[in-house]
């Protein structure tokens, strides 16, 4: 395979594994939030703020990975 094929494969892996990790993280976090708010409804507002903050951080890490993958795909820094 050529170098371009390896870059395309790497970009696909970066985006795919990043999306998988972000989806699993958001799913676990949402499940724990629903479970904890069902146990103690008086803490729902405090927990909701923290959930949205963590949701932004989890999605930001995935979006940074997509940006790096797009950078590799458009301007290959490893090309000689």
Contact (CB, 8 A) for 10 and 76? no
59 is known as an active-site residue: yes
Question: What span, in angstroms and rounded, lies between the C-alpha atoms of 33 and 40?
Answer: 10
Helix segments in 1-80, DSSP class H: 3-39, 44-74
Phi, psi of 2 (to 5 degrees): -90, 175
Active-site residue (options: 52, 59, 63, 70): 59
Q: Which residues are catalytic?
A: 59
């Amino acid at each position: 395979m050529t170098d371009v094929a390896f870059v395309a494969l790497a970009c696909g892996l970066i985006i795919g594994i990043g999306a998988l990790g972000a989806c699993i993280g958001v799913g676990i976090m949402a499940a724990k939030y629903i479970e904890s708010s069902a146990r103690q409804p008086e803490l729902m507002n405090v927990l909701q703020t923290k959930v949205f903050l963590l949701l932004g951080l989890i999605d930001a890490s995935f979006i940074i990975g997509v940006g790096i993958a797009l950078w590799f795909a458009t301007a290959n820094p490893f090309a000689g």
